Amino acid sequence: MSDVPNEAAQVERAMERLGDAAYREMKERIIRGVYKPGHKLTVRAVAQDLDVSTTPARDAINRLTNEGALVYAGPKTVVVPVLDAAALREITLTRLALEGLASEQAALHGTPEDVNKLRSLQALINVALEEKRYAEALWHNKEFHFLIYRLSGFPHLVSIIESLWLRIGPSLHNLYPEFAREKYGVRNHEVAMEALEERDGAGLRAAMENDIRDGYRRLKRANQEKDEG
């Protein structure tokens, strides 16, 4: 008997795995703010960035457009969407509810080791901000937040929060340089670490909600400046 059908099935499964890997990598890049709002991407560019062929790159793009993380700007081009005021407000209100809940629950499970991990991440954020490497600061900022949210023990909640970050991630570039100069996020993170260390659920929730609110005020102002400009 010929092994051609089996070989074809193996190739198909391999392509599916490559597509899944490309999707996860692109998703993570968007969440961490690697691409700014309005950034244009092609299948070829994504394939080169991820070091894959065009087939898994196209699969990743199609899945991310279905999730609203990318929108088509032409037959072969997608763009990272720019959030309008209404979308920004909706996402922020939802983040406050869900990330606040995850933070409050996290305080029940945090350990001294978790606090030390957060302090290490914050040290990386601080250096990146001081050296004006804002993309790097955003990369570590995502890790800081989600380390806390994962401590909640609610994986489905964390997945929903991740979908919100998939929408808001690119816009976080607009936090800077003001956020770096005024150190809003740094102060909120410091309070959050102290609250986790003390297993203070209400305090941890308040710190993370303040972080979201401070960010929203800056992003809202950035939208207004863009409209006026």
Q: Which of 52, 79, 106 lies at the terminal end of a domain, its last residue? A: 79
Domain at 221, CATH number: 1.20.120.530
Residues 75 and 157 in one domain: no
In this structure, the answer to whether residues 151 and 133 fall within a common structural domain is: yes
Same domain, 73 and 106: no
User: Domain range for residue 105?
Assistant: 85-228
Same domain? For 203 and 124 the reply is: yes
Domain C-terminal end among 24, 52, 79: 79
Q: Which of 103, 140, 148, 142 is nearest to 123 (CA)?
A: 140
Helices marked H in the chain = 4-31, 43-50, 54-66, 85-106, 112-130, 134-150, 155-168, 178-182, 184-197, 201-228
43 and 137 inside one domain:
no
Q: What is the pLDDT of residue 6?
A: 60
The enclosing domain of 43 has a CATH number of 1.10.10.10
Please name the amino acid found at residue 115.
V
Same domain assignment for residues 71 and 47: yes
pLDDT of residue 13: 57
Number of domains in the chain: 2
Same-domain check for residues 45 and 150: no
pLDDT at 89: 96
- Tokens encoding 160: 């929903």
> CA torsion, points 18, 55, 23, 87, in degrees to nearest 10?
-170
Q: Are residues 123 and 156 in the same domain?
A: yes
Indicate the pTM of the whole model: 0.88
Q: Give residue-wise pLDDT tens across range 173-183.
A: 999 998 888 89
Structure confidence by residue, pLDDT tens digits, 24-34: 999 999 999 89
CB contact at 8 A, 204 and 195: yes
220 versus 3: which is more confidently predicted? 220
Where is the domain boundary, 79, 108, 123? 79
Q: Which tokens sit at 228?
A: 């006026």
pLDDT in tens, 65-85: 999 999 999 888 999 999 999
Same domain, 73 and 94: no
Q: Are 15 and 71 in a shared domain?
A: yes
Average pLDDT, the chain: 91
Mind listing the pLDDT tens digit for each residue in 178-217?
Answer: 888 889 899 999 999 999 999 999 999 999 999 999 999 9
Instruction: State the pLDDT confidence band at 227, using cuts at 50, 70 and 90.
Output: confident
